[in-house]
A and B are shown apart, each in its own frame.
Chain A
Amino acid sequence: MRTVAFREALNEAIAEEMEKDDRIFLMGEEVGHYDGAYKVSKGLLKRFGEKRVIDTPIAEGGFVGVGIGAAMVGLRPIIELMTWNFSFVAADQLINNAAKIRQMSGGQFTLPIVFRGPGGSAHMLAAQHSQSTEALWAHIPGLKVVMPANPKDAKGLLKSAIRDNNPIVFIEGEVLYADQGEIPDGEYTIPLGVAEVKRPGTDITLIGWSKMVKIALATADALAAEGIEAEVVDPRTIRPLDEELLVESVKKTKRCLIIEEGWPFNGVGAEIAYRIGRRCFDDLDAPVERLTGADMPMPYNHHLEQQCIPDVPRAVAAAKKLLYLE
């Protein structure tokens, strides 16, 4: 095992896959000469050259479309969005082209392409720059949505995403990039669509992904201090969703709290709650509950912003309510 930062783990995944397959290229704003806006692509231009690490102008609709076109005819692009907030400029390409070309063509074209970049809120970036977009993308059949929570998952999942033959939305928590974590020394991958128990427990299931895994783990620690053993489950892939592992956990604990950074209306948590409600109806000792981001655009002011994002005290309170302790 080695300890690396989240951004380094992603960098390794890209470099290792590019080394093996020259159909793979990396394209996006500031990915080359600037070494990446968040330094995920650090050193890659030097290593692979301008042919394969391509700086683009600010034209998301253009270069996302370029990636899709290149994928149609046999290349395997990795398209970096400087942040997922800017993906909306390319929404038509993602929704009407990337997600649909395979089906519309009767399966003649497959799109082995990864769209990746940071998502979620950071700190005082205000409404246009603080958005969780996974619920939007997961709504679209034809796209897969991947959201790693730690360096090990980041590397293993990104390698699988690059090897996958479908368009992948790969969302990296903007505030996770500096997080350190252990990763295996040798080559490894983590399959898409497989959840992981991040902490075993018996009394309540906490479901979270990306940076909400950290909130869930801290919540579990806080609950443990009061003698409550929470199980933390990270779906890791939002679509396809590993329903079985989530259901298995909730059947055991009989209680479920979903912690989601994004908005509640049509959120990912709403879908998960429906599936658990249907599959675990007879096992549940309390209704499935959600703790989500506030149902409004993100305010700039620091204190207001923090109140709009799920945190440990509110997660602890919500968990205790499900345990009828408050």
Chain B
Amino acid sequence: MSATEREAAELHEKSRLPEKAELAKYYHQMLAIRRMEEALAKAYALRKFGGFLHLYIGQEAVAVGALATLKPEDYVIATYREHAHAYAKGMTAKSIIAELFGKATGCSQGLGGSMHLFDASKNFLGGYGIVGGHIPLAAGTAFASKYRGDGRVTLCFFGDGSVPQGAFHEGVALAALWRLPVVFICENNLYSMGTPLYRSLSVSDVSQKALAYGMARDRFDGEDVVRVRDRVAEAVRRARNESLPTLIEIRTYRFRGHSMSDAGLYRTKEEVEESKKRDPITFGRELLVRAKMDEKDIVAIEDQVTAEIEEAVKFADESPELAYERLAEFTYKE
């Protein structure tokens, strides 16, 4: 690259940098998600709740960047590793933490827990526990949008482990066949539980699955929230304006175990430490520094996040639980 070319590239890069306020919003969201999950891990260790707890720590730029492209009326559907997507879709830390604590003030009244966050008012269509099972649902919500002509887009998140599932292929095949306004986002964190990618897929490039279905595809690394936003924005535009689906593979890494009970013997400490050098939150802060935000303003965001999460934990702690007598009414609608 010549000096002028480099200069031009840098200029281009600069012109692409979003407003400081946007960057600040992303940083706030990513940090809040990180602190929320750290608080959840702590509460779990204190046995404030049990069950499975799958942390998203390390992947925050994916959910935040991808959801930054959406309008409030757009739909998001995700897996059991969905705390971040819920928060980025506008759900509060209070309603999320209270849900994990099993409280009636939780987004699903304490009936769903960590793996099943739902908020109809935010068009967050839930977290699902059966790997791949929700992917056809995303084709379904996109089908409804096309049916009604409401211009909404569906974003569907899933892990690399879903790709061998029949439900993935059936959902994607129908979306392609019927040209549905949906973006399938595979968060490829290189492992499904203890299984490395090379033992679950014959072709490691997940995005190639789109080729056989005649679907648009993209593939990139997910530690930079702005890159995620801009690349997902292309796919969202394609869905909204042309009613065409896209399969995106975003390479990322989870810093923590699969769930709280995972000893993590299938990967080396060095590998995990190496990945932490690409921490999306460090990177998000760096973006603010580069955008010339004052250190004290950055610290103010961080303080705000700390207060927000502390308050949410307190809220969850003090919230009531649903009475057993109320349970039956949730099985069927009157």
Contacts and interface: CB of A to CB of B under 8 A. Distances in A.
Interface of A: 29-30, 33-34, 37, 55, 57-59, 61-62, 85-86, 88-89, 123-129, 294-297, 299-304, 307-308
The interface size bin for chain B is 35 or more
Contacts, number: 118
Main secondary structure of the interface of B (DSSP, over half): loop
A126 B80 CA distance: 11
Interface of B: 49-52, 102-103, 108, 110-113, 115-116, 128-133, 161-162, 164-167, 192-195, 199-201, 265-266, 321-322, 324, 327-328, 330-331
23 contacts: A29-B195, A33-B194, A33-B195, A34-B193, A34-B194, A55-B195, A59-B166, A89-B167, A126-B51, A126-B116, A294-B327, A296-B328, A296-B330, A299-B110, A299-B322, A299-B327, A300-B51, A300-B113, A301-B111, A302-B49, A303-B102, A304-B102, A304-B111
B164 A86 contact: no
Nearest to A303: B321
Given A124-B102, A296-B327, A301-B111, A58 B161 contact: yes
Contacts of B116: 126-128, 300
* A-B complex: 9 closest residue pairs judged by Cβ atoms: A124-B51, A300-B113, A301-B102, A34-B194, A57-B200, A57-B164, A128-B129, A59-B164, A124-B50
A124 B193 contact: no
Contacts of A59: 164-166
Nearest to B262: A34
B192 A57 contact: yes
Nearest to B324: A307
Given A55-B199, A123-B51, A300 B165 contact: no
B179 to A, nearest CB: 27
A56 B51 CA distance: 25
A297 B103 CA distance: 17
A209 to B, nearest CB: 25
A300 B112 contact: yes
Nearest to B103: A301
A318 B321 CA distance: 27
B135 to A, nearest CB: 12
Contact of A296 (B128, B201, B331): B331
Nearest to A295: B331
Nearest to B261: A37
Contacts of B108: 300
A300 B322 CA distance: 11
A125 B52 contact: yes
A159 B298 CA distance: 63
B331 A297 contact: yes
B129 A129 contact: yes
A128 B130 contact: yes
A292 to B, nearest CB: 15
Contacts of A295: 331
Contact of B166 (A61, A128, A294, A297): A61
A86 B130 contact: yes
Contact of B195 (A30, A85, A294, A301): A30
A58 B113 contact: no
Contact of A300 (B102, B132, B195): B102
Contact of B200 (A58, A123, A127): A58
A37 B263 CA distance: 11
